[in-house]
Amino acid sequence: MERPNRLGVRHWRPVFGQRLSKFVDHHRQRWDVMMAVLTVLYVALGFFEDPQRWNAAEVVVWALSGLFFLEFLLRFLDDQSPRLYLRDHWIDLVTSFPAVGPLRLLRLLRLLRVFNSARMLKRLAADKGDASTTAGLRFLATTVFVFWLLAGYAFYVTELNQPRSMVHSFTNALFLAFTTSTTVGFSPMKAVTPEGQIVAG
């Protein structure tokens, strides 16, 4: 809600008096870990959805979708600056709808919050002993893992069961993403569709 100040300029008043925001900040690590686990489940179950009929995986996906949207909405309404919150969390809003399809994988970027990426980058840049090195390695490993999944999903969408394609499962797509990104060159598996070749490039 907005309320005018003495000059007549309207300022946003957090709906819950920032109690939710303070709760999340106080339990930041646990909150991010919990949401990261739900995010992995949300993305993984997408591979088991059947477009021809309603199944259990789709029920769970839609339930998680509703949970993610509710989290975004409540935190948006309870933030001091909803516009800034929307600017920083628009991916959370967009990917909370299952209809976005492959874009749902972008929600995995939320995994980076578990490691508090900004602070870890500062530690890595400062190079202050073993703690910063460990933090940097965790951040690097998480980033590589997320982008490997992104590439695998992109190959899965573009190459699955296409003529001359050897991608017949998500495992095949992950293997193609691995061999393509590492340029090992020993695999006979190649991207054959124009879209897949763009991803490989």
How does pLDDT run across 94-138, given as a tens digit for each residue? Answer: 888 876 666 677 777 776 666 554 455 455 555 555 555 665 666
Span 81-92, pLDDT tens digits:
889 999 888 888
Amino acid 66: pLDDT: 92
* Residue 55 · residue 61 · CB < 8 Å: no
Average pLDDT value for residue range 143-153 = 76
Residue 73 has pLDDT above 80, yes or no: yes
Confidence class of residue 74 from pLDDT cuts 50, 70 and 90? very high
* Residue 4 · residue 10 · CB < 8 Å: yes
Amino acid 9: pLDDT: 42
Q: What are phi and psi of 4, to 5 degrees?
A: -80, 145
Domains of the chain: 1-106 (no CATH), 115-201 (1.10.287.70)
The residues near 108 (Cβ < 8 Å, ≥ 6 apart) are 39, 40, 43, 146, 149, 150
CA distance 28 to 87: 20
Average pLDDT value for residue range 28-50 = 79
Q: Which amino acid is at 49?
A: E
